[in-house]
Structure 1
């Protein structure tokens, strides 16, 4: 059995997603003004995404605690994580914000983390997809 097929793999990845979003959201809300100065990112963007991250973290934590992982919802999370990463890169490339080097690093670090999480979530979904008889494929 691969690590990705373990019954605890998807819940653990969702818990990691929840923790990373909690930390990032709390930082963005707790240190909004300082982060805005250091990163060049607008306070409204930091606040709005901070609130979103905390709300999403609660949902991800709920998914992590389910006895059976909600596969369709986790599939949507994969798409959302990839969209978050693409949106961050697009924001930096657009020139709409006068970000600093630290601002680019902040956004790119978030993009990298969510790409890794999306990949892990997708591998977990693929490794545990039900076979035709309803049994999981190892």
Structure 2
């Protein structure tokens, strides 16, 4: 089985996963509760922000679950890294394409999100490398 027992070796990964879950969940809740206000500010349709918020909240719960098990499933943790990297690429495509009439704030926000999510992925890779060496 591809798991690692809860030891000091996995503490870094656990923190990275929990931080990702908290920030992602907060972002998802903000989209759900404030879609009508945030959408126009960013140049995104509120109808898009609601399903994105639902996804982010669900994803946050999954990341929290993976990061808090007595044994971290390495394959699941690598899955989190992969989803984070896909989010980064997709965010940059949205930010620098004409899919939506983004405002300047919208481009800034989407790029900032991509940078933060990329940082989570890097921290998670570092944590995974610590426990799989």
Match among 110, 117, 122 for residue 119 of structure 1: 122
SS of structure 2 residue aligned to 1:97: coil
Q: In the TM superposition, what is the alpha-carbon distance from 1:96 to its structure 2 partner?
A: 1.2
Q: After superposition, where does 1:47-58 map in structure 2 within 5 Å?
A: 47-58=50-61
Q: Which runs of 5+ in 1 are unaligned?
A: 130-136
Find the counterpart in structure 2 of residue 132 from structure 1: none
TM-score by length of 2: 0.90
Structure 1 segments, 4+ long, off by >6 Å, are none
Q: In the TM superposition, what is the alpha-carbon distance from 1:51 to its structure 2 partner?
A: 0.4
Using the alignment, how far apart are the partners of 2:80 and 2:29 within structure 1?
Answer: 20
Task: Determine whether 1:88 maps to 2:104.
Answer: no
Task: Determine whether 1:43 maps to 2:46.
Answer: yes
TM-score by length of 1: 0.87
Q: Which runs of 5+ in 2 are unaligned?
A: 1-7
* Matched pairs, number: 126
Bigger proportion of residues as helix: 2
Task: Determine whether 1:34 maps to 2:74.
Answer: no
Using the alignment, how far apart are the partners of 1:57 and 1:37 within structure 2?
Answer: 25
The structure number with the bigger radius of gyration is: 1
Using the alignment, how far apart are the partners of 1:16 and 1:127 within structure 2?
Answer: 18
